[in-house]
């Protein structure tokens, strides 16, 4: 019977050794967490500044003859040109029904798009900017 008591006595020692190691790891994790929190607090107090419009977009540009039929002949900023082109597209229902990113050109827009029947929104911006000076 002496053998049985020795085994029982050895088992509790191992369990206490594991419990002693576990709290050390937990304290190491707790110590790392406050460092991250202090970094976030330092980055948070930025002042919100109002966005200024880019001067290059606001500069009045003269449209070509083809583009002037859609947006008018007076010099206007690039942003206003695109607003007027989109208004023209929506007024005349020129956006493709299946692929909304595609624009189907009528006679006036075909002159601006270089003879293409259909262009994407992104191509359209490039083609319109070629008609501004």
Q: Hey, what domains does the chain have and what are their CATH numbers?
A: 58-129 (1.10.245.10)
Residue 57 pLDDT: 78
Q: Is 84 exposed, middle or buried (0-12, 13-18, 19+ CB in 10 A)?
A: middle
| pLDDT tens digits for range 104-132 | 999 999 999 999 999 999 999 999 999 99
Segment 4-62, tens digit of pLDDT:
555 555 555 555 555 555 555 555 555 555 555 555 555 556 677 888 877 877 899 99
Q: What is the DSSP letter of 100?
A: T
Helix, strand or coil, per DSSP, at residue 114: coil
The angle, 0 to 180 degrees and rounded to 10, between the axes of the packed helices 121-129 and 78-91 is: 130
Q: Can you give the pTM of this predicted structure?
A: 0.59
pLDDT at 56: 79
């Amino acid at each position: 019977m002496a053998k049985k008591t020795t085994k029982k006595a050895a088992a509790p020692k191992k369990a206490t050794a594991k419990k002693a190691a576990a709290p050390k790891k937990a304290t190491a994790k707790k110590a790392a967490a406050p460092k991250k929190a202090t970094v976030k607090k330092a980055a948070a107090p930025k002042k919100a500044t109002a966005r200024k419009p880019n001067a290059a977009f606001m500069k009045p540009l003269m449209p070509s003859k083809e583009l002037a039929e859609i947006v008018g002949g007076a010099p206007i900023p690039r942003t206003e040109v695109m607003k007027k082109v989109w208004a023209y597209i929506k007024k005349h229902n020129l956006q493709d029904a299946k692929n909304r990113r595609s624009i189907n050109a009528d006679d006036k827009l075909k002159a601006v798009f270089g003879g293409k029947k259909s262009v994407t929104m992104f191509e359209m911006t490039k083609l319109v900017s070629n008609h501004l000076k």
